[in-house]
């Protein structure tokens, strides 16, 4: 990717979406119904979560929503985003608190090392250039360091409590493969060298055939297919044999029959078509209609692992929530200035759904 041109944001996708300013994310005055000053909107084990924290995370979300939607659909999506943002932030706060309690916080040197890696990944040659790059994305170096530290700690916690508990057996992988064979169906494919001995208008077919036979005799006696094809073919581009990856249905029937009947290393007899005579040498053939388990095992393992990981992560978070004190002091629509703004002077006190 073009680092400086496309910005640091993609590289920070594993981090929280940290961007400044409650006021900056507010919709235009005619679209907003009630941004408020910063205050505590939730409590996680007596640790405050502020309105500006959630609004910082919501900046990219709200911008996208206001670009793409209007009216009731915009309001609906803003309300959904509000709930999702708050839930995600509460979950991360719980995880970070647990990581801290279990002594998993990274050192200053570890955080700085991760920040230096971000610099390298974005071709930032010095601190000044990196800070300017962050500023263009609405970030500060302090926000990045804070978020990097949080992510490292949470990553360690989940590795110990969730990832390490996941076991995948070969039997599970094989069972999934057999139950989902349709996912692994494929069109037969061959990798071939191909050379054409063309028959031009008024050409001497017998003379061309003699050249083909002479070339084929040398190839079968051990001569290199590509070099011999280049020497004997009358290809106007003088490129010799071309290496092609072809699928069933893409070739003339006569050539396709040879491509998918020969073993790797095999060379065809001369194949006559309207264009002339063809010779092919097969390098690889993948004729199985279904990919073998050996070929897709790693992909299946990764998919099953991710499914188990997500299920166990949710289970682990549910346990943390069950033993935590979580309160939300929030009016619906208040975070992002969405569809609902209460008229009461005091916000409602409600538990997170």
Band (236; pLDDT cuts 50, 70, 90): low
The whole-angstrom separation of Cα 290 and Cα 346 is 63
Q: Is the pLDDT of residue 167 over 60?
A: yes
User: What confidence tens digit (pLDDT) does each residue in 195-233 have?
Assistant: 988 887 666 889 999 999 999 999 999 999 999 988 888
Tally the domains of the chain.
2
Nearest 5°: phi and psi at 332? -60, 135
Of 168, 156, 171, the C-alpha closest to 100 is: 156
Q: Identify whether 308 is part of a domain.
A: yes
Tell me, yes or no, whether 276 and 313 share the same domain: no
User: What confidence tens digit (pLDDT) does each residue in 253-285 have?
Assistant: 999 999 988 999 999 999 999 888 999 999 998
User: What confidence tens digit (pLDDT) does each residue in 76-96 have?
Assistant: 998 888 888 889 999 999 999
Q: Which of 286, 321, 338 is the last residue of a domain?
A: 286
Q: Which of 286, 313, 336 is the last residue of a domain?
A: 286
The mean per-residue pLDDT over the stretch 4-10 comes to 39
Domain hosting 158: range is 3-166+302-350
Q: Is the pLDDT of residue 251 over 80?
A: yes
Report whether 254 contacts 275 (CB < 8 A).
no
Query: What residues contact 149, with CB distance under 8 A and at least 6 apart?
Result: 105, 106, 111
Tell me, yes or no, whether 192 and 162 share the same domain: no
**CATH number, domain with residue 211:** 3.10.50.40
């Amino acid at each position: 990717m073009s680092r400086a041109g496309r910005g640091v944001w993609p590289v920070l996708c594993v981090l929280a979406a940290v961007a400044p300013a409650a006021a900056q994310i507010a919709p235009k005055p005619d679209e907003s119904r009630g941004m408020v000053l910063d205050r505590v909107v939730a409590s996680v084990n007596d640790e405050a979560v502020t309105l500006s924290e959630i609004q910082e995370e919501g900046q990219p979300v709200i911008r996208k929503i206001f670009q793409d939607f209007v009216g009731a659909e915009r309001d609906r999506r803003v309300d959904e985003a509000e709930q999702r943002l708050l839930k995600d932030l509460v979950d991360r706060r719980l995880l970070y608190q647990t990581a801290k309690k279990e002594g998993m916080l990274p050192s200053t040197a570890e955080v700085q090392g991760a920040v230096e890696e971000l610099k390298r990944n974005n071709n930032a040659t010095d601190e000044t250039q990196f800070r300017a790059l962050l500023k263009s994305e609405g970030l500060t170096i302090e926000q990045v360091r804070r978020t990097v530290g949080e992510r490292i700690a949470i990553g360690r916690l989940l590795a110990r409590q969730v990832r390490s508990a996941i076991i995948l057996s070969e039997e599970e992988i094989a069972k999934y493969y057999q139950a989902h064979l349709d996912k692994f169906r494929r069109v037969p494919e061959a990798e071939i060298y191909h050379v054409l001995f063309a028959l031009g208008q008024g050409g001497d077919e017998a003379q061309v055939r003699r050249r083909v036979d002479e070339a084929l005799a040398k190839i079968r006696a051990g001569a290199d297919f590509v070099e011999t094809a280049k020497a004997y073919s009358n290809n106007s581009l003088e490129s010799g044999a071309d290496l092609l990856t072809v699928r069933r249905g893409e070739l003339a029937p006569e050539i396709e029959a040879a491509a998918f009947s020969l073993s790797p290393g095999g060379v065809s007899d001369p194949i006559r078509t309207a264009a002339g005579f063809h010779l092919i040498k097969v390098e690889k053939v993948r004729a199985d209609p279904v990919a073998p388990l050996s070929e897709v095992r790693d992909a299946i393992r990764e998919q099953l692992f991710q499914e188990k990981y997500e299920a166990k992560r949710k289970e682990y978070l549910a346990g943390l929530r069950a033993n935590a004190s979580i309160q939300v002091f929030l009016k619906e629509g208040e975070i992002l200035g969405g569809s609902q703004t209460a008229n009461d002077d005091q916000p409602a006190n409600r538990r997170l759904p």
